[in-house]
Amino acid sequence: MSRSESYHCDVCGKLKSDTEIWWMAWIDCFKGDKPEEDQPLFKLTRWSSAQAHSDDVKHLCGARCSETLIDRWISDQRENPEAHCEP
């Protein structure tokens, strides 16, 4: 039995086609010397069907939506500069 999947851009809602080159983003943790020095880390990479299944991955259709997501993340970090990694 084959599995049919569809992905939508988490910023603009566009449906991914098989021929388009998309991107994935997620938040990781940059470890400090002590837990209170840990910082959220934004990661962006090219599309991988195997990794696109992860619950924490954001699907992005291109540069504009990637930049929008990064801008939103930076704004969130500015609002809470003492934010640490979530457990």
Q: What is the pLDDT along the chain (87 residues), one digit of tens a residue?
A: 445 589 999 999 999 999 999 999 999 999 989 888 889 999 999 999 999 999 999 999 999 999 999 999 999 999 988 877 876
For residue 61, being part of any structural domain is answered with yes
For residue 11, being part of any structural domain is answered with no
Q: Domain total for the chain?
A: 1
3-class DSSP state for residue 64?
helix
For residue 66, being part of any structural domain is answered with yes
Per-residue CA distances from 47 to 38, 41, 61, 77 (Å): 27, 19, 10, 25
Contact 59, 24 (CB under 8 A): yes
Contact 25, 42 (CB under 8 A): yes
Q: Supply the range of the domain harboring residue 28.
A: 23-79
For 47, how many CA atoms within 13 A lie in the half-sphere containing its CB? Answer: 17
pTM for this predicted structure = 0.84
For residue 54, being part of any structural domain is answered with yes
